[in-house]
Amino acid sequence: MIRVAAVGDIHMGPDTRGVLRPAFDTLPDCADLLLAGDLTRHGTTDEARVVADEIRGLGVPVVAVLGNHDHHDDRQDEVSELLRDAGAHVLEGEATVLSVGDARVGVAGTKGFGGGFVGASAGEFGEPVMKEFVRVSRRCADGLRTALERLAEEDCDVRIALTHYSPVPETLAGEPPEIYPFLGSYLLAEAIDTAGADLAVHGHAHAGSEHGMTTGGVKVRNVAQPVIGRAFHVYHLPLRERVGADARASAG
């Protein structure tokens, strides 16, 4: 059994330094790894240093994707480097394989982007800026799919898709429907279902709902901190040999 601790949208700044560390220090007793996204308020390096101190030396692997807030100050490369210096695996269209005991846990990650969902989604048509909006979403989804496919070749016991934007509308329930196109994209779900995963984790939708599922049967969890209401939530994934697109593990 793999114990996945997950939280997103912690939005840390200098005034919250140390707030989460006492809870994070308990992770080795209750979880095997921590997943996270949208870590800062405005994407400044000062805020990123606070996050780095919060996750440094936790005793469990930390995997992260950046969120829209982490891009706001246009210092996303510096933010990523500070987090990597603290030991985090920061992913964008990439995958990492972690050894947890005798198990191999693969995590594929991308920030993702908006665009909406089936029946109410943006199309690659019209003004150049509109076409680029959709192309960014597609590039993110393609990167996620490719990363998950690489993990399938790595004989991982568990595969996790980590995004910031949501792959399904169900975990957005509670947000105004008018802003759904800015909270996620069905292209992410298509990538997850095409390549296969055992759990999909995202944040971004602070007023959303925790539980959802892709049309292919992959459980989706919105772990934005305002949604889960705690420092992190732990999901238990049973180990299965050579997990593929048709083998689904259960998530709490």
**Whole-number pLDDT of residue 244:** 44
Residue 67: closest CA among 96, 92, 89: 92
CA–CA dist 31, 40 (Å, integer): 23
Give phi and psi for 230, each to the nearest 5.
-155, 175
CA–CA dist 188, 178 (Å, integer): 19
CA–CA dist 56, 34 (Å, integer): 12
**Whole-number pLDDT of residue 188:** 98
Please compute Rg for the chain using Cα positions.
17
Count the helices and strands in the chain (H runs, E runs). 8, 13
Query: How does 144-173 read in b/e, with b if 16+ C-beta sit within 10 Å?
Result: bbbbbbbbbeeebbbbbbbbbbbbbbbbbb
**Whole-number pLDDT of residue 240:** 72
Total number of residues shown for the chain:
252
pLDDT in tens, the chain (252 residues): 999 999 999 999 999 999 999 999 999 999 999 998 889 999 999 999 999 999 999 999 999 999 999 999 999 999 999 999 999 999 999 999 999 999 999 999 999 999 999 988 999 899 999 999 999 999 999 999 999 999 999 989 999 999 999 999 999 999 999 999 999 999 999 999 999 999 999 999 999 999 999 999 999 999 999 999 999 999 999 987 544 444 444 556
CA–CA dist 147, 114 (Å, integer): 20
Give phi and psi for 73, each to the nearest 5.
-90, 5
The partner residues of 185 in beta bridges, in order of sequence, read: 116
DSSP assignment of 65-134: E--HHHHTTS-HHHHHHHHHHTT-EE-SSEEEEEEETTEEEEEEEE-----EETTEE--S-SSHHHHHHH
**Whole-number pLDDT of residue 241:** 57
**Whole-number pLDDT of residue 148:** 98
- Model pTM score: 0.94
CA–CA dist 1, 9 (Å, integer): 26
